Amino acid sequence: MAVKRKRGFSPAVGLLFQAGIVVLGLLPLWLFDIPVATEGLPVLGYLVWGVAGGVLTYGLLLLFSVTDVLSSDSLQKHIRDLHRFVRSQSWLVLIGLAVLAGVGEELLFRAVIQGWVGAHLGTAAGVLAGAVVFGLAHAMSRAYFLVATALGAVFGIAYAVTDSIQLVMVWHAVYDLVVILVLRRYPQLFGLSRTVGPG
């Protein structure tokens, strides 16, 4: 989930935008009859692995954030902007945005783009295409493009290996929620101070 914070941000507009991505993901699946892998894991399996994946992925992000890997000024500015955004919104809005982002973005980037390209050019090309477009959609800086592309590749490989779109939806949503929680409650882990808005 990438959010460009603007004055006068409307939670309703943000939620509608993310819901629109869900529709944008579903529409081509229906129009072009792109198959979606949903049977790879049982419910408990994709829930457990999705939660574990989201938490572990955040752990890697945190590890990189305390090294020079994520030390670019533009990426740090994005993290500060995101911190201010999550501090200014209610938990209900933030949870809604994370869940809708997990569902909608995985439908669009994994089920549609990766699925369509993979069906025509092979699995590796599909994973790469989905990851790069995912990175471009989150390209608020060169560094964040690289981070998002790498994250998209992880989601894409997980989808290809498990045949479970539900897994990557849960994984993506949990990752977003963990980032939101830490930025809101423990911003010092990213080198930030708790100075914006109420807790």
Per-residue pLDDT tens over the stretch 89-105: 999 999 999 999 999 99
Token pair for 46: 């994709």
Tracing tokens 């369509």 back to the chain, one arrives at: 116
Question: Among 35, 59, 61, 44, which Cα is nearest to 146's?
Answer: 61
Q: Tell me, what's the pLDDT at 141? A: 78
The whole-angstrom separation of Cα 187 and Cα 22 is 30
Task: Summarize the confidence of residues 65-83 as an average pLDDT.
Answer: 71
Task: Summarize the confidence of residues 44-67 as an average pLDDT.
Answer: 88
Question: Among 100, 55, 51, 79, which Cα is nearest to 147's?
Answer: 79
For 31, 49, 54, 161, 181, the CA distances from 155, given in Å and listed in that order, are 24, 12, 10, 10, 21
CB count in 10 Å sphere of residue 88: 15
Helix, strand, coil in percent for the chain, rounding step 5:
80, 0, 20
Residue 110 banded pLDDT, cuts 50, 70, 90: very high
Model pLDDT for residues 116-158, shown as the tens digit of each residue: 999 999 999 999 999 999 999 988 878 789 889 999 999 999 9
Whole-structure pTM value: 0.89
Q: Where are the domains of the chain?
A: 37-189
